[in-house]
Structure 1
Amino acid sequence: MTQWLVLLIAMVAVCAVVLSVVVLRQRRIGDDDDPSETPDVIEYMVMMIGVVYAIVLGLAIAGVWEGMGSAQANVQAEAQALHEVKARVQVYPPDVRDRVRADVDAYARFVSAKEWPYMRDHGSLSARGTALLDQVRTDVTRFDPTSDLAAQAYQPVVDEVAAADQARVARGQSAGATMPGIVWFGLITGGLVTVGLIFTLQIRRSPRELLLAGLFSALIAFLLFLIWDLDAPFGSGLAVSADAFRDLL
């Protein structure tokens, strides 16, 4: 079951529950009920709770969006550093140059094909990927340049490998979810409270009010799903792509 199907089911379920409660509640109201008797203080409380919850939702979305952007930047930095390694070893002897490039390609191929699903399932980097990058570092650092041109390129190549390793570590730190459980508890509880406050305003069964109640509850469900999906930058929904590593091949 895809995440988008889960989202659709969740939104439909939330709408169905809210509308069912409204209809069932309306049937139990007597003919002498006066909807205009809703106290002004309740309307004020409903408004304030809605505003506070909207601010919390906005901050949560901004936080996970920033985390997604940071993860994307780390991926681009790692891929760019490896590209520079392949380009700068052009002045190395053919056997060393081909070995370094082959190891970089092996690393990029493994990351794009194997490590991406591993990060999604385990929330961390794989030991095999670390070993492959260490092999690239070994090939680069063990080379003893004999020409002036190779000697000038040696340190920049070493620096690019170090930059790739640093970006890899940052990518690993972004692999797992960042939203604490207590925050999720607050978001879900706040959503239930906010939707539940609809009933304090004496909502009726008119098509307009039912439509607004359903759309409002569906919007809350969508925003919570969006936060959950963006909280996993390397998940299967709106995830960071491995195209930067595929472009190295």
Structure 2
Amino acid sequence: MEHVIGVIGIVVGFAAVAGGAALLNSRRIRRSEPEDEARDDTAEYLTMMVGVLYALVLGVALVAVWEAKGDAGANISAEAGALHQTYLLADALPPDAAQQARSAAVAYATYVRTEEWPLMEERKALGPRGWTLLHDVQNAWTSFEPSTNVQQQVDQVAFGQISVAYQSRHGRESAGSGGMSGVMWFGLLAGGALTLGLMFLFGIQRTRTHLVLVVGFTSLIAFMVVFIYALNSPFGGLLGLSSAPFAGVGVGG
């Protein structure tokens, strides 16, 4: 709820500033000379072109962060799902080996959920401990020697799931340390400022119409920038992914 209030506050704040600027601009227009109309026609054309180009920048940025977050969510689901499968497959092992495999899977999932997740929300390095615990999951299966055909088949399936967990962890770490480039952020912010600034180069005789346009465009652009910023942090903030899939490892097994 705090994040929602913060987003609303940012959008309203920018809209209020833009509205005040629009009112001041309307006073300037009333005092302008008639020959300014030709210049206003040129400004209208420029504003339209810049607006179209900025819409493309917004679209590219939105697609980039949306796909990145989607990939992060897919990696989380795959990693937690593979880990849970190793927990379930342990039912085919002898009691001691099964307990070791289950304990290793639960220990890794618990560490990811309680220790690594807060670090990912702050975009901090995870360290080697998580990899060590994932190696323990693998070692729990390599230390076991299958004695039946069923155990051999289960062992092969389990190693396939562990390989998925390794690959998905790599993807999760990359998503936590990545993000949209500084060049894209510059284009997003500078383009928004330029698009809004050009709206004050020409005048609309009706002050209310101009005010509604300026406030509307400012609110929309501010919301889109905040939305992209939220999507750019896949593990934290208002739209951050949940660690719930790891809480399900070992549940119902």
Matched-pair contact (CA < 8 Å) for 2:109–2:246:
yes
How many residue pairs match? The answer is 249
CA distance in structure 2 between the partners assigned to 1:237 and 1:204 by the alignment: 41
CA distance in structure 1 between the partners assigned to 2:55 and 2:184 by the alignment: 14
Residues 95/160 of structure 1: CA separation in 2 closer, same or farther (3 Å cut)? same
**What corresponds to 1:134 in structure 2?**
135
Displacement after TM superposition at 1:81 (Å): 1.0
SS in 2 for 1:199: coil
Matched-pair contact (CA < 8 Å) for 2:68–2:175:
yes
Counterpart residue type for residue 4 of structure 1:
V
RMSD: 2.0
CA distance in structure 1 between the partners assigned to 2:243 and 2:157 by the alignment: 25
CA distance in structure 1 between the partners assigned to 2:103 and 2:30 by the alignment: 79
TM-score calculated relative to the size of structure 2: 0.90
**What corresponds to 1:18 in structure 2?**
18
**What corresponds to 2:9 in structure 1?**
9
CA distance in structure 2 between the partners assigned to 1:87 and 1:238 by the alignment: 31
Matched-pair contact (CA < 8 Å) for 1:124–1:173:
no
**Percentage of identical aligned residues:** 36
Displacement after TM superposition at 1:158 (Å): 1.6
Counterpart residue type for residue 9 of structure 1:
G
Q: What do residues 166-191 of structure 1 show as CA deviations (whole Å, max 9, x unaligned)?
A: 11111110113421112111110000
Residues 131/155 of structure 1: CA separation in 2 closer, same or farther (3 Å cut)? same
CA distance in structure 1 between the partners assigned to 2:26 and 2:44 by the alignment: 20
SS in 1 for 2:235: coil
Structure 2 residue runs without a partner (length 5+): none
TM-score calculated relative to the size of structure 1: 0.91
Structure 1 residue runs without a partner (length 5+): none
Matched-pair contact (CA < 8 Å) for 1:88–1:157:
yes
Residues 212/29 of structure 1: CA separation in 2 closer, same or farther (3 Å cut)? closer
Displacement after TM superposition at 1:60 (Å): 0.6
| 1:55-94 equivalences in 2 (<5 Å) | 55-94=56-95
Matched-pair contact (CA < 8 Å) for 2:23–2:207:
no
| 1:95-110 equivalences in 2 (<5 Å) | 95-110=96-111
Counterpart residue type for residue 10 of structure 2:
A
Residues 30/66 of structure 1: CA separation in 2 closer, same or farther (3 Å cut)? closer
